[in-house]
Amino acid sequence: MLAIATHGERILGLTAQPVQLFDEPLAALAEKMLETMKLAQGVGIAAPQVGQGIRLFIMASHPNDRYPDAPLMAPQVVINPQILKRSGKMLAGEEGCLSLPGERVQILRHESIEVRYQDLSGEWQQEWLQGFIARIFQHEYDHLEGLTLRERLEIQNQGAGS
């Protein structure tokens, strides 16, 4: 299991760098991240959370103690992600974060998003995500931009005040 960085650690506030090499060490990192995420009962984990400043995250929604109503999906490795389009409709939902143990906050996220990313072989994928899966993608994408739930909540609250 990899150590999970907690809020306040420098790596969580940095913008992650694009992945250039699609090789065995990258696949091994993704496998260790998946194992770490499962042991921590998460539904997603980003490379910065395990001390790696690269644009890589894993989504693996499944019902668990933290998210009992989560839909079941096969683990998905997402590399160099882009959000191409966002729905106008925003939905509030409770989120937690492996880097903020025990914290749960209401976060507004786009209900659906069109995304583009590379898989472990470097091939580009493009799809529309909705609901909880779109929420996971946006949460993990925030990590690659140096944002945790605390920063997202601050941005959200500033927007509400304007």
Active-site amino acid positions:
140
Three-state DSSP class for 5? Answer: coil
User: Residue 7 has which token pair?
Assistant: 């809020």
The neighbouring-strand residues paired with 46 are: 57
User: Residue 82 has which token pair?
Assistant: 């882009």
Residue 156 in contact with residue 149, Cβ under 8 Å? no
- Measured in degrees and rounded to the nearest 5, phi and psi for residue 63 equal -60, 135
Cα separation of 148 and 28, whole Å? 25
Cα separation of 151 and 162, whole Å? 17
Residue 70 in contact with residue 132, Cβ under 8 Å? yes
